Amino acid sequence: MRIQFNPRVAALGLSVALSAVALPAAAQVMVGGASMLPSKDIIDNAVNSKDHTTLVAAVKAASLVETLKSPGPFTVFAPTNEAFAALPAGTVDTLLKPENKPTLTKVLTYHVVAGKYDAAAIMKMIQDGGGMAKMKTVEGGTLTAKSKGSNVMVMDEKGGTAHVTIADVYQSNGVIHVVDKVLMPK
């Protein structure tokens, strides 16, 4: 049997090999000016994001750091600083007070779903659900996900809607989806 060199097959093979080498660099996600490393947990990545300093402060005030450093897995819909700033004046300061820790914990755990649901999994849930997917939060409430084209929106129980602005920020203990609004439980 004689093997003949085919330049097209060789070029295709080289292209595939180079794509595989370049994939990890392309898959790295930047959030708030920092690389989000899939080898780090949710907390270790979040503290590096300049867009999530309010969320990190709230997680610390609610004593949820150890929970979000645990193996999980968790899916976190992470509001940005701008999302917190859009709340009525004084809301964040009030929530951060020690006497309001139960309310703060309720709000934060409403953004967390047990399990690892990346964008593909959420889109499949939306399709399987006839255009919407209900997700039970760690807080005990429900978030509803819908899509418009490739964009995913998450609705809270009060009718508020957050848009996923950065999806699939993989962590060692789950996945983060950055959202542009703070979701509120009943």
Helices (H), 39-183: 42-46, 53-61, 65-69, 81-85, 91-95, 101-109, 119-128
Question: pLDDT tens for residues 136-185?
Answer: 999 999 999 999 888 899 999 999 999 999 889 898 898 999 999 999 99
In which element (H, E) is residue 17 found? helix 7-27
Average pLDDT over the chain reads 82
Phi, psi for residue 60 in degrees, rounded to 5: -65, -45
**pTM (2 decimals)?**
0.81
Q: Is the pLDDT of residue 63 over 60?
A: yes
Q: In order of start, what are the domains of the chain with their CATH numbers?
A: 7-179 (2.30.180.10)
Strands 34-36 and 29-31: antiparallel
What's the CA gap between 55 and 108, in Å, rounded? 8
